[in-house]
Chain A
Amino acid sequence: MINSVILFIRDTLPIFLLVSLLLSQSGLRLIHLLIGVLIGLMVAGGLYINLATLSALAEGGGLEIVKAVVLLITLIILCLLIRDAIAYNKSTSRWAMLLVVGITITNAIHFLIYSFAYWSTDRADISLAMGSIIGLGISLSVSVLLHAVVSAVNNAYVKLSFLCVFCAGQFAGITLLLEQIDYLDVTERVWDSSDWVADDSEYGHLMNVLFGYEATPSIAYISVYSIAVTVPFIYALSMKRIATAPHVEGASS
């Protein structure tokens, strides 16, 4: 049962946290985000059905490549979301929904693999169900707390920063995926903070989900993380500056 709790939390907590962070932003409605979760689950289900074929691609790296591509597209969507949020554009709901779709796909696929593999066997007993219910309760509790904390912040830019930091933790995982299948060379580890907070500790798990904490991050991981945190804002503020720049009438004669 404990393993079911851990797996449920690991695979679904990011989705819950993303929904709560997006709800904390102004102008976003739960229904759109839930639709995004549903679409994400459907796409993840479609991937699961074709998983044998998919994972055999690229010399066994098919699933990693699909996840990396989805995360990259989701990063672009985040940039568009931040741009429209800063410009007080009403189309943020659309991007928020797509952001949820992307994060749901990359996280739910693993949960589906575990669920369909073990819940269809004789081991699908009450302990597995209880483990998932407990995991669901924990995920809901943490996400409600996060929503309360972020909603209490008055500054819209700070709220968006919380969202960016969370998403950066997800996007930085692209480097780990590509290193695993040898599409990216392993770079030097920048620091080792495992003596303070180990990756496999409770705090390590939570911090990893909240903001992508890694006890031994590589240069590539930190680089992608930094890009994912800063580029959405740089892009959004650039677009805002262009949109609000005064037009100069009449060329020089």
Chain B
Amino acid sequence: MNGLFAGLSYAALPEVVVEIRNHLFTPQTITIPANQKVRLVFINYDSTPEEIDSFDLNREKVIFGESRGVIFVGPLPAGEYGFFGEYHPNSAVGKVIVTDDMSSPRSSDSNNESLPHD
């Protein structure tokens, strides 16, 4: 299921939560609005750290085991931006889709979890 940007608040930035379990990102695909700064919150449920790396987003951050970390991205133009887990590049793979049209979420995938809504 594509990630929905959640927790929209006029006082706070839009936020998307990504979980790391068994060296996999959930959701693997995140959709965020174009030209807007967004908080990506990574929650690592594994006992070992993972380094979130993205050449497209120019981001690199270690998320320690059983902890969380925040990466700010944007404002970004519309497009697709890949990211991956540096320590498990074959399994931990994700993508950020930046779209001009956020009026409706993308179609969901039944295998993926839905994001928590605040």
Which A residues are within 8 Å of any B CB, using their own CB?
Answer: 3, 7, 51-52, 55, 59-61, 63-64, 110, 113-114, 117-118, 121, 176, 179-182, 185-186, 198-200, 204, 214-216, 218
B89 adjacent to chain A (CB < 8 Å): yes
The reply to whether B68 and A117 form a contact with Cβ atoms under 8 Å apart is: no
The reply to whether A118 and B48 form a contact with Cβ atoms under 8 Å apart is: yes
- Please list the 6 inter-chain residue pairs (A to B) with the smallest Cβ-Cβ separation, ordered nearest first: A199-B55, A182-B72, A200-B55, A60-B70, A117-B48, A117-B49
**Chain B residue nearest in CB terms to A218:** B58
Question: In the complex the two chains form, what is the Cα distance from A215 to B49 in whole Å?
Answer: 28
B87 adjacent to chain A (CB < 8 Å): yes
CB distance from B59 to the nearest CB of A (A): 6
Set of chain B residues within 8 Å of A63, measured between Cβ atoms = 62
Residue contacts A-B, CB under 8 angstroms, 27 given: A3-B87, A3-B89, A7-B86, A52-B67, A55-B62, A59-B70, A60-B70, A63-B62, A64-B61, A110-B51, A113-B51, A118-B48, A121-B48, A176-B58, A176-B60, A179-B58, A180-B61, A180-B71, A181-B72, A182-B37, A182-B72, A186-B72, A186-B73, A198-B55, A200-B55, A204-B55, A216-B58
The reply to whether B74 and A186 form a contact with Cβ atoms under 8 Å apart is: yes
Question: In the complex the two chains form, what is the Cα distance from A121 to B65 in whole Å?
Answer: 13
Q: Which residue of A60, A121, A181 has the most chain B CB atoms within 10 A of its CB atom?
A: A60
The reply to whether A60 and B68 form a contact with Cβ atoms under 8 Å apart is: yes
Question: In the complex the two chains form, what is the Cα distance from A50 to B49 in whole Å?
Answer: 15
Question: In the complex the two chains form, what is the Cα distance from A113 to B68 in whole Å?
Answer: 16
Set of chain A residues within 8 Å of B70, measured between Cβ atoms = 59-61, 181
Question: In the complex the two chains form, what is the Cα distance from A187 to B65 in whole Å?
Answer: 32
**Chain B residue nearest in CB terms to A185:** B37
Find residues 65-95 in chain B having any chain A CB closer than 8 Å to their own CB. Answer: 65, 67-75, 86-87, 89
Question: In the complex the two chains form, what is the Cα distance from A113 to B59 in whole Å?
Answer: 17
B64 adjacent to chain A (CB < 8 Å): yes
The reply to whether B72 and A180 form a contact with Cβ atoms under 8 Å apart is: yes
Set of chain A residues within 8 Å of B55, measured between Cβ atoms = 198-200, 204, 215
The reply to whether B49 and A113 form a contact with Cβ atoms under 8 Å apart is: yes
Set of chain A residues within 8 Å of B72, measured between Cβ atoms = 179-182, 186
CB distance from A59 to the nearest CB of B (A): 7
CB distance from B20 to the nearest CB of A (A): 13
Set of chain A residues within 8 Å of B65, measured between Cβ atoms = 117
Question: In the complex the two chains form, what is the Cα distance from A29 to B70 in whole Å?
Answer: 42
Q: Which residue of B71, B72, B74, B89 has the most chain A CB atoms within 10 A of its CB atom?
A: B72
CB distance from A170 to the nearest CB of B (A): 14
Set of chain B residues within 8 Å of A114, measured between Cβ atoms = 49, 51, 87
Set of chain B residues within 8 Å of A179, measured between Cβ atoms = 58, 72
